[in-house]
Amino acid sequence: MPEAGASTNYRVSILDLATVRHGQSIGDAVGESLTLAQRAEERGFHRIWFAEHHNMPSIASSATSVLLSHIGAHTSTIRLGSGGVMLPNHAPLLIAEQFGMLQELYGPRIDLGLGRAPGTDQKTLWALRRDPQSADRFPQDVVELQGYLSGDSQIPGVEAYPGKDTNLPIFILGSSHFGAQLAAKLGLPYTFASHFAPQMLGSAASLYREHYEPSEQHPEPYFIAALNVIADETEEGAQASLEAAQRSRIRSFLGRGKNLSDDEVSLLLHSPAGEQVLSMLKYTAVGTASVVREYMDQFAERVSADELIMTNLAPSLQSRLTTLDLVGSSVINR
């Protein structure tokens, strides 16, 4: 990390998965996401995005546009969007219609983040009735989607109603050089998933900026980097929350379809498989408000990020609210 004193000229946003904690109902998880979104709006966060995943019992944001509509109905100023819609799972026309409707309902605060991965495994991809090779068409599908939203359809006689002429802001999401190159080629903002795929963060950020081709909507590149955050009033509390988050991550990734005991989770924490899972959390800011602020400042400076989007790793609703409060006061409203 760079030395302290880094630039603080960046926005701060939230990536939410509508996480379903152990023993919790999906309805309660969605209720917590709404509570967090409302607190984030109060604290000045720029946007909140929800990610599409399927067949994962710990994630309730699979019907992303439906969830966004619920959050939109109970907020008023914070930007809302997908982080992201996994475009290979959908026809571009349907996504244009869904997000066009969201803008008609909630005004020009809707974002459309697009990913190339299926957000699930191959068996579930079949259940979605998608061709495994559909990801290969991602660049063409993005261009087709842009056409529907701009009113310049690539398919004569086919328009998106609603959606046409909304010019919804599109973001490319990725965790490799492919996404960086595509976003640069199309002149679109790029978001790197460094909260779980840290390996190529620096090189992807550089590649995106070096090869960026200005577009009418985005004459300058715009880079968003993701990270995990846990903030607490005390260092001890933050570290305890981190341990709880790590154990939860082990249960999700290594205990799928199993009911792991606490002792089994403890053993897995220090196994090669467990260490590989936890290595995904390389970019995690943990500590008191001042410690988290310093980490976020240096992280943003390191990759010249215009915006940081954080996954709130704190394990309980109250600890997540505390994280939002402390980041809001120490980073956003410093």
Give residue 119's pLDDT.
Answer: 64
Distance, CA of 78 to CA of 45 (rounded, Å): 7
Q: For residue 228, what are its two tokens?
A: 């995990």
- The burial of 55, by beta-carbon neighbours within 10 Å (0-12 exposed, 13-18 middle, 19 or more buried), is given as middle
The DSSP call for residue 106 is H
Nearest to 66 by CA among 99, 94, 114: 99
| Residues composing the chain | 334
Characterize 255-272 residue by residue with b for buried, 16 or more Cβ atoms within 10 angstroms of its Cβ, and e for exposed: eeeeebeeeebeebbeee
On the question of pLDDT at 72 being above 50, the answer is: yes
How far apart CA 203 and CA 53 sit, in angstroms, is 26
The pLDDT of residue 223 is above 50: yes
At residue 229, the pLDDT reads: 98
For residue 160, give the amino acid letter.
A
End-to-end alpha-carbon separation of the chain, Å?
Answer: 21
- pLDDT reported for residue 39: 98
Interatomic CA distance for residues 155 and 248, integer angstroms: 46
Place of tokens 């006689």: 157
Give tens-digit pLDDT for 18-53.
999 878 999 999 999 999 999 999 999 999 999 998
DSSP assignment of 208-238 equals HHHT----SS-SS--EEEEEEEEE-SSHHHH
pLDDT digits (tens, 9 = 90+) for 233-273: 999 999 999 999 999 889 888 877 678 888 999 999 989 99
d(CA 281, CA 276): 10
pTM listed for this prediction = 0.94
